[in-house]
Chains A and B, each alone.
Chain A
Amino acid sequence: QQQVKQSPQSLIVQKGGISIINCAYENTAFDYFPWYQQFPGKGPALLIAIRPDVSEKKEGRFTISFNKSAKQFSLHIMDSQPGDSATYFCAASGYNTDKLIFGTGTRLQVFP
């Protein structure tokens, strides 16, 4: 119940295309869903996050879509750029808890 399942494991997108990464969870107590971007040899950096009271959140080229009934959320990267090539992790956290449960990660490669 504590798992967050992430797919795909790897993704190759052409420059200018849309990158889509999906995550699913089981624990209905989760109420915070962030996405992290990690470059090789670096720590993860918060990209964008959403709470269940909204179905979509957009920040620049990055959009989170959230489906509470399906217990799924996804990251969309519009106009993907080579600089977006990194590993992306979804995560989830419950009310009044510090712990972040991470997905397995998606390695995104954007080719020019």
Chain B
Amino acid sequence: GAVVSQHPSRVICKSGTSVKIECRSLDFQATTMFWYRQFPKQSLMLMATSNEGSKATYEQGVEKDKFLINHASLTLSTLTVTSAHPEDSSFYICSARVGGLANGETQYFGPGTRLLVL
């Protein structure tokens, strides 16, 4: 149980275009989803926390107008990288929290999406 999927697994786009990444909880409802970015050989950095039906909460330094997050249902959150530039190239990972008390213990991670902006 507690499987999280991401689509696409990798995407290549031209500079200036927008890219949408989907994160789905396959066998549970996730009231909260998280988006992380990971640069090569570095740790995971939390970008934003997404709650179903409400606006996402962004971490300090993350541009909310550039990284649009939508959590329209209990099983789907999307991250749209708008006007992507080469410096946005990274590995984007989502996670979903199984319902219950807010607790890091209940967070399950997706397989990640590799974004390359040319």
Contacts and interface: CB of A to CB of B under 8 A. Distances in A.
Contact of A93 (B43, B105, B111): B105
Contacts of B101: 96
B54 interface: no
A83 interface: no
Contact of B104 (A41, A43, A100): A100
A42 B6 CA distance: 11
Nearest to B32: A98
Interface stretch (A13-21, A56-64, A69-77, A102-110): A102-110
A102 B44 contact: yes
A46 B97 CA distance: 13
A98 B48 CA distance: 11
Contacts of A107: 41
Interface residues of B, number: 26
Contact of A43 (B46, B49, B93, B103): B93
Contact of A42 (B49, B95, B108, B111): B111
Given A89-B44, A105-B43, A100 B93 contact: no
Interface in B1-24: 4, 6
B105 A32 contact: yes
A28 to B, nearest CB: 16
Contacts of B4: 43
B5 to A, nearest CB: 10
Given A41-B112, A41-B114, A45-B109, A96 B103 contact: yes
A105 B45 CA distance: 12
Contacts of B41: 105, 107
Which 10 A-B pairs give the minimum distances between C-beta atoms?
A93-B104, A43-B109, A43-B112, A100-B104, A43-B111, A102-B43, A98-B102, A32-B104, A102-B44, A43-B93
Interface of B: 4, 6, 32, 34, 41-44, 46, 49, 91, 93, 95, 97, 101-105, 107-112, 114
